[in-house]
Amino acid sequence: MGSITRSFANNIGSSGILVASAVTNATVEDVTAFGTAPSPATLVLISTQTASSSANISFTTGLDSTYDEYIFKFINIHPATDASEFQFNMSTDSGSNYNVTKTTTFFRAYHDEADTTTTLQYLADSDLAQSTSYQRILREIGNDNDQSASGTLTLFNPSSTTYVKHFIATGNASTDGNFTMNYFVAGYGNTTSAVNAIDFKMSSGNIDDGIIKLYGVKKS
């Protein structure tokens, strides 16, 4: 048995674990390479679109079987119309129609700048029950020069032809009434067809400004 092997064996306790004295600054600094640890889930940027008085922003490519999870990040969405709502819909025909049937939930927490009102509430007028309508993500966004809304929409396994299409959205808006409103939306597209396009638009007027990024979550 070589000297290195004997030295290593002498530092193994009865339980088969290295004793504490075996690991020192000297032993660690002499290591020339460590094994590769499993890499965490990584976001891969697929595409970016910037609104400029846009009636809608559609993603008709990039949603496929490459990833099991896709994340849209919407950054500083600024509406042309005060108190309008940012919403989305899904397509199974590459954007020819945005009319996937959805069942969803919607609640929010808010607090005003005057520190007079705080509320957590479910909004039944913003959920859907087997509806093909656009789903609201952010409500009552102000159109003052300094007001906007930001958040994320996560879509799970859109290419599945077995299961419904789950999604979760959350975001925050600076509203027309000078509130901060945090929104929580979730549900599923009730289709076993692959979803391959997503459309975003305001409930009224254009998306005056803002950025939407589409990411894929790298498979482990």
pLDDT of 170-216, one tens digit each?
A: 999 999 999 999 999 999 999 999 999 999 999 999 999 999 999 99
Q: Are 194 and 159 contacting, i.e. CB atoms less than 8 angstroms apart?
A: yes
3-state secondary structure of 4: helix
Question: How far apart (Å, rounded) are the C-alpha atoms in residues 33 and 35?
Answer: 7
Coil, strand, or helix at residue 47?
Answer: strand
> pLDDT band for position 86 (50/70/90)?
very high
Question: Using an 8 Å Cβ cutoff, are 89 and 98 in contact?
Answer: yes
- Report the percentage of the chain scoring pLDDT > 90: 80
Residues 74 and 95: their CA atoms lie apart, in Å, by 20
Q: How much is the CA Rg of the chain, to the nearest whole Å? A: 25
Quote the pLDDT of residue 219.
84
Does position 97 have pLDDT exceeding 70, yes or no? yes
User: Does the pLDDT at position 2 exceed 90?
Assistant: no
Which CA distances in Å does 110 have to 48, 129, 179? 30, 25, 7
Residue with tokens 């300094």: 146
Quote the pLDDT of residue 59.
98
In this prediction, what percent of the chain has a pLDDT beyond 70?
81
Q: What is the pLDDT of residue 19?
A: 63
- CA dist 60 and 179 (Å) reads 34
Q: What's the start-to-end Cα distance of the chain, in Å?
A: 40
| E strands present in 21-143 | 43-54, 57-59, 69-79, 84-91, 102-112, 118-122, 129-131, 135-141
Reported as a single tens digit per residue, the pLDDT across 17-63 is: 656 666 555 555 665 665 665 555 599 999 999 999 999 999 999 99
Q: What is the mean pLDDT of residues 79-90?
A: 98
Lowest mean pLDDT among 26-40, 70-84, 91-105, 143-157: 26-40
Q: What is the chain's mean pLDDT, rounded?
A: 90
User: How far is the C-alpha of 114 from the C-alpha of 178, rounded, in Å?
Assistant: 9
What is the set of domains in the chain, with CATH numbers? 43-217 (2.60.120)
Taking residues 64-91, report their average pLDDT. Answer: 98
Q: Is the pLDDT of residue 116 over 60?
A: yes
Rounded average pLDDT over 99-125 = 98
